[in-house]
Amino acid sequence: MYFNKEIECMSRSEKEALQSERLINVVKRVYDNVKMYRAKMDAIKLKPSDIKSIKDIYKLPYTVKQDLRDSYPFGMFAVPKRDIVRLHASSATTGKLTVVGYTKNDLDTWAECDARALVMAGATPDSTVHVAYGYGLFTGGLGMHYGTEKLGATVVPVSSGNTKRQLMLMKDFEADILCCTPSYAIFLAEEMEKEGYSLKDFNLKAGIFGAEAWTEEMRKTIENRLNIKAIDIYGLSEICGPGVACECSEQTGMHIQDDYFFPEIISTDTLEPLPIGEEGELVFTTLTKEGIPLIRYRTRDLCSLNDTPCACGRTSIKMNKVFARSDDMLIIRGVNVFPSQIESVLLSNPLASPHYHIVVDRVNNLDVLEIQVEMSEALFSDEVKAIENFKNKLAQDMASAISVSAKITLVSPHSIERSEGKAKRITDKRFVK
């Protein structure tokens, strides 16, 4: 089933024609209305008329998060403020927030993306969709909310927090689709057990999980514990929010809504575009956005694209799972380590729980990596020898996967802080001294 078969199954050549027409148009609009783009294009002597098709996209300059910060709050808007009907902003650990503004058409496009995503995950107009992403300046809650309404399904706008009440509502309202971060899905599963529910009490079929990186091993863990299909959804507020891309039931990469968002992968070293299939930084150009159109926006997310035809019949290009943000890559004693590698090793061991925290420090000028892992209840009540064996095995597996030695610290069940939104899995003490 599709939400918009005509677009979702459009031939690649028709899609390319549509992308070309839209790119020509958006480049004209940003040149005429956004000072920063005019300056960037003038600096390289590029005129809007030089962009004749989507193939010319490589001529255009990149946009980075700092551009948005420098133009805080509304400097990159391409329409008068009166045409903006909603603002969102993404949290900043340092510096200013990045603010995005949507026109009525932008909101409609975004809802369309999430309606398509919901159908990909198996939702129908008869579904009840439990939205446990946060509502507010974060785009997760409202994005999935309007997508559900556009599909004509029933939305439960529960937002994040109050887990006991979430479980009660999920059961009583018979939600078949759950939307939240993957880390919160694990927490919900744990709380279900704790509160004495059985999986039979729920009507859940699928979960639409995103907003943070998660591994295939985490997917298996969630699918087993909740007995649902766990679907990956990707997005970022700068581009619109959740729904820029989403998996279908084949779970072989996320279909990018490439009639609206044109993807590229570039090398983080040379910034040159890379061929399909190679890993690098994901870059998006918004083809129809009015409020704050972005040209070749560098997302900092690392992944690869995949254009093998999908068994579901959708023709869009897909993105493979994001394995890291370039900002999250840890360099430990000169070796690049991605948190996702650590998660994969942990969750490949059936005795480990999906709760962990990574601590990096510098002791006597040497980087030290510690991985705090929660023991499962079964392991916790096991003999000391079994616990020792588990710890040694984990340390060995970790060293061969990430090529640096890590200190494994086993902690008691439920001692690592649970997250209701994006999980914070890393403390890097090296840069806070």
Q: 329-368 mask for ligand DLL (x: CB under 6 A)?
A: ----------------------------------------
Pairing mode, strands 366-375 and 407-411: parallel
Residue 316 or 376 having the CB closest to ligand DLL = 316
The footprint of ligand DLL on this chain (CB under 6 A) covers a number of residues equal to 21
Q: Return the residue of 54, 78, 121, 211 that touches ligand DLL, per CB under 6 A.
A: 211
Question: Of all residues in this chain, which one has the CB nearest to ligand DLL in the complex?
Answer: 210
Structure tokens at 339: 């948190």
**If DSSP codes are grouped into helix, strand and coil, which group holds residue 41?**
helix
Rg (CA), the chain: 22
Candidate ranges 15-23, 113-121, 131-139, 217-225; the one touching ligand DLL (CB under 6 A): 131-139
Residue 255 or 408 having the CB closest to ligand DLL = 255
* CB 332, min distance to ligand DLL, A: 21
Q: Return the residue of 8, 176, 301, 367 that touches ligand DLL, per CB under 6 A.
A: 301
Angle 339-348/384-402 helices, nearest 10 degrees? 140
Residue 292 Cα to chain centre, angstroms: 20
Write out the binding residues for ligand DLL, residues 260-289 only, by CB under 6 A.
none
Pairing mode, strands 177-180 and 128-131: parallel
Candidate ranges 24-32, 78-86, 134-142, 257-265; the one touching ligand DLL (CB under 6 A): 134-142
Q: Tell me: does residue 120 bind ligand DLL (CB under 6 A).
A: no
Task: Name the residue with tokens 């392991």.
Answer: 379
Cβ pair 92, 104 in contact under 8 A: no
Rounded to the nearest 5°, which phi and psi values hold at 429?
Answer: -80, -5
DSSP 387-410: HHHHHHHHHHHHHHHHSS--EEEE
DSSP 96: P
27, containing H or E segment: helix 12-33
Residue 212 or 290 having the CB closest to ligand DLL = 212
Write out the binding residues for ligand DLL, residues 65-104 only, by CB under 6 A.
90
* CB 241, min distance to ligand DLL, A: 5
Q: Return the residue of 232, 281, 290, 374 that touches ligand DLL, per CB under 6 A.
A: 232
- Looking at residue 4, its amino acid is N
Q: What is the rounded distance in angstroms from the CA atom of residue 245 to the CA atom of residue 285?
A: 14
Q: Return the residue of 31, 37, 133, 390 that touches ligand DLL, per CB under 6 A.
A: 133
Count CB-CB contacts under 10 A for residue 201.
Answer: 14
Q: 310-329 mask for ligand DLL (x: CB under 6 A)?
A: ------------x--x----
Residue 322 or 416 having the CB closest to ligand DLL = 322
Structure tokens at 410: 């086993």
Structure tokens at 135: 């509502």
Candidate ranges 55-63, 136-144, 260-268, 367-375; the one touching ligand DLL (CB under 6 A): 136-144
Write out the binding residues for ligand DLL, residues 235-254 only, by CB under 6 A.
235-237, 241-242
Residue 203 or 326 having the CB closest to ligand DLL = 326
Cβ pair 128, 174 in contact under 8 A: yes
Q: Tell me: does residue 299 bind ligand DLL (CB under 6 A).
A: yes
Q: What is the rounded distance in angstroms from the CA atom of residue 185 to the CA atom of residue 422?
A: 11
Candidate ranges 44-52, 58-66, 153-161, 229-237; the one touching ligand DLL (CB under 6 A): 229-237
Sheet strands side by side (includes 177-180): 154-156, 128-131, 177-180, 206-210, 229-236, 241-247, 254-256, 318-319, 305-306
Residue 41 or 142 having the CB closest to ligand DLL = 142
Q: Tell me: does residue 212 bind ligand DLL (CB under 6 A).
A: yes
Q: Which residues bind ligand DLL (CB under 6 A)?
A: 90, 133, 138-140, 210-213, 232-237, 241-242, 299, 301, 322, 325
